[in-house]
């Protein structure tokens, strides 16, 4: 049985591969900047966007894009008021987003299968329109990150030094949060709002365990994300499981195995060398 003979599976794989690439690349920067919760905050806002879209008859994916974009602006705005406690901004936007989502859902009485697909991801739900949006935005995001690679490295490693190098740190930080919002909105389709953050953080965490340089961190994170998404989609198709959960479980398993093997390896090295 060739699962790629189904049109909807072709679309799911295309969307999944782009999502894996974007989420893992952004994830490395996000984890190193100790902003692992950003994905969570933005995804709750994206969920409110989905609910709002359903309520007002706008395509929910657009609702997610708009709301997570607005949430990104809000995070930066609140953060500037609480410079020393940047996690306050994340907590406020996360609970605010969830609150708004719940209210909008109850207003629209829209707790249905369609909403469930945005919560936990879906294989059958990816439309041609979704693929078009995901591809165009995905290309734009990857080009942005490649062009800003040096700036992002410098800011992530040592923000003060980045300022003295002449990097427009504030503007790039803001742009980066907007890019993250786009990635979150894109990921809602395939892994679901509740699990996006995991797809950003877990591959990056594996990268940090094994990396021999900054660049190799990306290679590892991308590989882990691609492997998890491809096998996860396959397994969820065969066993009729929610794709988001399956993907995240595979990625988590890889992280656990890597941590254990690394511990064993280090002990073996200490004993023998």
Partner 1 sequence: MYKAGENMIQESSSSLVKEQRQVVSLTDVTFSYNGTPVLQDVSLSVEKGDFVAILGPNGSAKSTLLKVMLGLLAPQAGEVRILGQKARQFTAWDKIGYVSQQAANINTSFPATVQEVVASGYYTGFGRIFDRGKRKAAVKNALEAVKISGLSHRLIGQLSGGQRQKVFLARALVRKPEALFLDEPTTGIDTATQEEFYKLIYNLHKDHMTVVMVTHDLTRALKMATKVVYMMDGKATLYKDKGNFFENFTSKILEQGGQG
The answer to whether 199 and 186 have CB atoms below 8 angstroms apart is no
- Give me the least distance between CB of 223 and partner 1, in Å please: 15
| The binder of partner 1 chosen from 161, 171, 259, 264 (CB under 8 A) | 161
Range 137-167 burial, b when 16+ CB lie within 10 A, else e:
bbeebeebbeebeebbebbbeeeeebeeeeb
Q: How many residues bind partner 1 (CB under 8 A)?
A: 24
Which stretch of DSSP H or E encloses residue 7? helix 7-32
Q: Which two tokens stand for residue 231?
A: 């096998």
- How far is Cα 90 from Cα 41, in angstroms, rounded to an integer? 6
Q: From 90-98, 124-132, 147-155, 234-242, give the range in contact with partner 1 by CB under 8 A.
A: 147-155
83 versus 271: smaller Cβ distance to partner 1:
83
Q: From 111-119, 154-162, 192-200, 228-236, give the range in contact with partner 1 by CB under 8 A.
A: 154-162
167 versus 182: smaller Cβ distance to partner 1:
167
Question: Does 153 sit near partner 1 (CB under 8 A)?
Answer: yes
Question: Does 213 sit near partner 1 (CB under 8 A)?
Answer: yes
Q: From 105-113, 119-127, 194-202, 208-216, give the range in contact with partner 1 by CB under 8 A.
A: 208-216
The answer to whether 61 and 117 have CB atoms below 8 angstroms apart is no
Question: Does 80 sit near partner 1 (CB under 8 A)?
Answer: no
Range 214-240 burial, b when 16+ CB lie within 10 A, else e:
eeebbebbbbbbbbbbbebbbbbbeee
- Give me the least distance between CB of 206 and partner 1, in Å please: 12
Provide the binding-site residues for partner 1, judged by CB under 8 A.
32, 147, 150-151, 153-154, 157-158, 160-161, 163-167, 207-208, 211-217
């Amino acid at each position: 049985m060739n699962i790629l003979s189904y049109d909807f599976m072709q679309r799911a794989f295309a969307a999944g591969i782009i999502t894996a690439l974007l989420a893992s690349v952004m994830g490395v920067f996000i984890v190193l900047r100790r902003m692992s919760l950003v994905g969570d905050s933005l995804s709750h806002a994206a969920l409110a966007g989905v609910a709002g879209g359903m309520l007002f008859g706008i395509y929910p994916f657009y609702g997610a894009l708009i709301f997570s974009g607005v949430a990104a602006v809000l995070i930066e705005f609140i953060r500037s008021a609480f410079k020393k406690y940047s996690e306050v901004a994340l907590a406020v936007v996360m609970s605010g987003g969830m609150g708004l989502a719940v209210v909008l859902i109850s207003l629209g009485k829209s707790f249905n299968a369609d909403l469930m697909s945005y919560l936990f991801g879906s294989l059958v739900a990816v439309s041609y329109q979704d693929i078009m949006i995901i591809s165009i935005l995905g290309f734009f995001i990857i080009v942005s990150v490649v062009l800003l690679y040096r700036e992002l490295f410098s800011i992530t490693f040592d923000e003060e030094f980045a300022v003295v190098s002449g990097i427009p740190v504030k503007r790039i930080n803001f742009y980066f949060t907007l890019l993250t919002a786009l990635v979150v909105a894109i990921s809602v389709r395939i892994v679901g709002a509740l699990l996006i953050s995991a797809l950003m953080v877990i591959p990056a965490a594996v990268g940090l365990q094994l990396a021999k340089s900054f660049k190799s961190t990306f290679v590892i994170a991308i590989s882990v994300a691609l492997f998890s998404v491809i096998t996860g989609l396959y397994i969820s198709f065969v066993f009729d499981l929610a794709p988001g959960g399956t993907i995240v479980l595979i990625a988590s398993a890889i992280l656990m195995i890597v941590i254990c093997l690394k511990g064993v390896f280090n002990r073996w090295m200490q004993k023998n060398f």
